[in-house]
Amino acid sequence: MAESPSKSPNKVLRSPVQFLMPSPIITRRTRTHSTSRAASNNPVKTGVIKEFCKHKGHGFIIPDGDSSTTLFVHVSDVEGEYVPCTGDHVTYKECLVPPKKIKIQAVEVIITHLAPGLKHHRWEDPEDD
C-alpha cells in the first residue's frame, strides 16, 4: 500500500527559527504618533540623494550645506511616484530616532528635481535583475 505524499517520512515540515528582535529601523508604520507629530512640526530642509536601493528599501540623503553628514531614509517615508536616484534633489523633515533620540532620519521626503541623465523608475515598475 503506497503512502500519500503528505504522510511521506521524507517530507518533514520544518518551520524556520525566527528571532523576535525589534527592528532598529523606524518606519512610518512603527513610528509613534507623538514622534510623527514632532517630525511634522520640524522645518522643511533640502538635500540630495546620496544613494537609494529600492530592493533594500532604504537610502541616504546628504543635507545641503553639510556634506559630512548623511541621513537615513526609509522607503515608507518617500512621497511621490518615482524611486529616488543618486543626485535627485529632495525636501524632507528631520525625525529623532527613538529610543535614545540621538540619531536623525529623514521623513516626508519629496523629490523636487530629478537628476538629469538618469532613467527614473516608478514604484510599480518591475525591478531590473
Residues 6+ apart with CB under 8 A from 115: 49, 85, 86, 87, 88, 89
With respect to CATH, is domain 29-113 assigned 2.40.50.140?
A: yes
Helix/strand/coil (H/E/C) assignment for every residue in 42-88: CCCEEEEEEEEECCCCEEEEEECCCCCCCEEEEHHHEECCECCCCCC
Sequence ranges of the domains in the chain:
29-113
Taking the whole predicted model, whether its pTM rises above 0.85 is answered as: no
Question: pLDDT truncated to tens, each residue of the chain (129 aa)?
Answer: 555 555 545 555 555 555 554 455 566 555 666 677 777 788 999 999 999 998 888 999 999 988 888 999 999 889 999 999 999 999 999 988 777 778 889 999 999 999 999 888 988 888 764
